[in-house]
Chains A and B, each alone.
Chain A
Amino acid sequence: MRAVHRALVLFWLLAAAGFAIVAWDAWRTWLTNGEPAVVTGYTLAGLMVFLGLFNTRKKLSMIPLGRGAYWTAAHGIAGALALSVFFLHTRGTVIPDGSYERLLAGLFYLVTITGVLGYWLQRMLPRRLTENGLEVIWERIPGEIAEIREKAEAIVEEAADKSASDTLARYYMETLAWFFRRPRFPLSHFFGARAGDAWIRREFTAMRRYVDETESGYLQQLEQLALLKNRLDFAWSVNGFLKIWLLFHVPLAVGTLLVMIWHIILVHVYLL
Chain B
Amino acid sequence: MITDSDRFSYQKSSYERPNFPFVCGRACAFGKPCAQGPTFAGACGGTSQCAPFRNGDRWECRRPPSSGGPCADGPLPDGSCCMQQPPCKPRPSIRRLRGRISAVVAVFILALIAAFLHFEPDAFEGDRTIFSSVMPGQLSGAHSNFALADKGCVACHEAHGKGILAWAEAFVTANSPGENCVDCHAFGGGSASPHNMTFQTAGVTLPAGADVRTDCVMCHTEHKGQDADIAPMKDAQCNSCHETKITAFGRDHPAFGERFPHDRRPSIAFDHVAHFGKHFPEKLAAGETRTCVDCHDVGKAALTVPPGSFEANCASCHLTGITDRTLRIASVPFLEEDPFADTDLASICPPTADLKAYLLAKARGEDAEAPEADEYFFEDNGDNLPPALALALGVAADDPDGYIDAIGAFYKAIAEDGSDALAERIEGMPGAPGAAALLAGLDGELVRQAVCAWMQKVEYEAPGDVAGGGWSSDGMSINYRPVGHADPVARAWFDFAVNAEAAAKDAGGDDTVVAQAAALRDVLLSEYGLGNCTKCHAVTQVTDASTGDGQDKQKLMVEWGYQAVKDRPYVHYDHGPHVNLLGPGTLCSTCHKENAQANFSASFKQFDATKFEPGFLPVKQETCTECHTPGKVRQDCLLCHEYHLEPHFNRSMGFQSAGRVEAGGKEGG
Contact = CB atoms under 8 A, between A and B. Distances in A.
A211 to B, nearest CB: 25
Given A33-B218, A251-B101, A97 B224 contact: yes
B116 A99 contact: yes
Nearest to A270: B157
Interface size class of B (residues with CB under 8 A): 35 or more
A30 B236 CA distance: 9
A211 B101 CA distance: 51
Nearest to B17: A139
Interface in A239-272: 243-244, 246-247, 250-252, 254-255, 258-259, 262, 265-266, 268-272
Contacts of A78: none
A32 B135 contact: no
Contact of B109 (A134, A140, A182, A258): A258
A100 B129 CA distance: 11
Contacts of A148: 1
Contacts of A134: 2
A158 interface: no
A183 B23 CA distance: 18
Contacts of A252: 105
B30 A146 contact: yes
B118 interface: no
B214 interface: yes
A97 to B, nearest CB: 3
B61 to A, nearest CB: 22
Contacts of B104: 251
Contact of A97 (B138, B170, B239): B138
Interface residues of A, number: 52
B651 interface: no
Given A32-B240, A247-B94, A101 B218 contact: no
Contact of A143 (B18, B33, B217): B33
Contacts, number: 145
A258 B218 contact: no
Contacts of B113: 100, 259, 262
A134 B177 CA distance: 64
Contact of B130 (A33, A99, A228, A269): A99
Nearest to B2: A144
Contacts of A97: 130, 136-138, 223-225, 228
Contacts of A96: 136-137
A254 B209 contact: no
A265 B171 contact: yes
A170 interface: no
Contact of B131 (A99, A145, A150, A270): A99
A25 B489 CA distance: 64
A34 interface: yes
Interface in A184-203: none
Contacts of A149: 30
A251 B101 CA distance: 6
A271 B178 CA distance: 9
Pick the most buried of B105, B108, B214: most chain A CB atoms within 10 A of its CB. B105
B192 interface: no
Contact of B28 (A142, A144, A151): A142
Given A99-B130, A247-B94, A268 B136 contact: no
Interface in A115-146: 134, 136, 139-140, 142-146
A250 B101 CA distance: 9
A147 interface: yes
A166 to B, nearest CB: 25
A140 B24 CA distance: 11
Given A31-B237, A99-B131, A145 B219 contact: no
Contacts of B97: 247
B30 A181 contact: yes
With most chain B CB atoms within 10 A of its CB, the pick from A30, A143, A183 is: A143
Interface string B517-538: 0000000000000000000000
26 contacts: A32-B240, A33-B218, A97-B136, A97-B225, A98-B132, A99-B130, A101-B136, A101-B137, A134-B2, A142-B28, A142-B30, A143-B32, A144-B2, A146-B30, A146-B31, A151-B1, A251-B105, A255-B105, A258-B110, A259-B109, A262-B113, A266-B134, A268-B171, A269-B167, A269-B170, A272-B174
